[in-house]
Amino acid sequence: MATRGVLHPYTERLVAFEHSSSMPAWANTFPNTLLWIGGLGDGLLTVKYPKAIAKRLPPDWVLAEVLLSSSYKGWGTGSLKRDAKQLAKCVEYFKELRPDRKIVLMGHSTGCQDIMEYLVGEGHAERPGIDGAILQAGVSDRECMVAEVPPDVYNGAVALARKMTDEGNGGNVMPRDEISKLFGGIMTASRFLSLASPDKNGADDYFSSDLEDSQLEATFGKIKKENPMMFLFSGADQHIPAFVDRVALVKRWTEAVKKGGGVVDDMNGGVILDAHHNLNEDSDEVVQNLVQRVMGFLHGVNCEAFTSPTKL
């Protein structure tokens, strides 16, 4: 089924797709913007729930899905650093298009890592400011790999990636036979190590459950109070090992943010029961649970005070 909207070329060869608003064009010329960033393998309209959010947004908000060079199969040769730079271009574009309006980022899966990199990674102080961030299904690639991949395959790929990096070939693509066993696509040695994070310090390793408190303080603890956060964790996420305590993990992230002086909407945020990773096959009840939480957060951003969502 066709989806109506506006395609924004926010920088050379990259676009953001803004879902059509239910409001008349004249009434919504300068709305606030919710920018949605997908995960590994995602692109425009590959995840269904952004459309459900767009349908429920209040008149002063619109949702736009951001296409990055890392979208679809481009992630294997990319990096969070590149994603953050391109995301900054997108935020800058919408700030110029709609001056003095609010911008909130919402990440799904690796889109959550992109937002963390945007907020606390190298060069974050020079990036355009935002008014809030929602992290949905931020998961650990390392824990997922270790749980799902035979140890000899994982360890062999790590050894090969380390060898390539030590020889100065970290930007080269690893042999497809090795990578196809893990991700089914091409990947540079450096990106593989970032995701696999064998030493628990990979650039993509923001959400592992076994990270030290000091590591969380160096990431979540740096988020400023001007960027209120909301964590949405899928209760039935198939990419999270069974040993991970979802509630406890969200609590650790929340405490790290608050300890650093940041703000977390833990009234609307939390674990969404029965939700899978991207909710594509979930019931409407589960999807609307997520949507209602997003509505509550955006209301809080508008009012600068967070409130509990209405029960479904």
**Residue scoring higher pLDDT (149 or 97):** 97
Q: Is 137:232 a contact under the CB 8 Å cutoff?
A: yes
The DSSP code for 21 is: P
Domain-ending residue, one of 158, 185, 204: 204
User: Do 288 and 193 belong to one domain?
Assistant: no
Residue 187 structural domain: 141-204
Q: Token pair of 97, please?
A: 């298009």
pLDDT at residue 309 is higher than 90: no
User: Do 296 and 163 belong to one domain?
Assistant: no
| pLDDT classification of 308: cutoffs 50, 70, 90 | very low
Q: Token pair of 48, please?
A: 């269904």
The DSSP code for 17 is: E
Q: Is 96:25 a contact under the CB 8 Å cutoff?
A: no
Nearest to 219, CA basis, from 93, 62, 102, 80: 80
In total, how many domains does the chain have? 2
The answer as to whether 262 is a domain residue is yes
The arithmetic mean of pLDDT across residues 126-134, rounded, is 97
User: Do 190 and 47 belong to one domain?
Assistant: no
Dihedral pair phi/psi, residue 97, rounded to 5°? -70, -35
pTM, two decimal places: 0.94
- Alpha-carbon gap, residue 222 to 217, rounded angstroms: 7
Element (H, E) at 155: helix 151-166
Q: Is 241:265 a contact under the CB 8 Å cutoff?
A: no
Residue 163 C-alpha from the chain's centroid: 30
The arithmetic mean of pLDDT across residues 276-291, rounded, is 98
The answer as to whether 311 is a domain residue is no
| Residue-level pLDDT at 149 | 87
User: Do 145 and 285 belong to one domain?
Assistant: no
Domain-ending residue, one of 157, 180, 204: 204
- Alpha-carbon gap, residue 165 to 168, rounded angstroms: 5
Nearest to 192, CA basis, from 141, 152, 149, 239: 141
User: Do 155 and 182 belong to one domain?
Assistant: yes
| Residue 17: CATH number of its domain | 3.40.50.1820
User: Do 263 and 147 belong to one domain?
Assistant: no
User: Do 52 and 125 belong to one domain?
Assistant: yes
Q: Is 195:202 a contact under the CB 8 Å cutoff?
A: yes
Contact residues for 259 (Cβ-Cβ < 8 A; gap 6+): 217, 221
Q: Is 102:29 a contact under the CB 8 Å cutoff?
A: no
| Residue-level pLDDT at 185 | 80
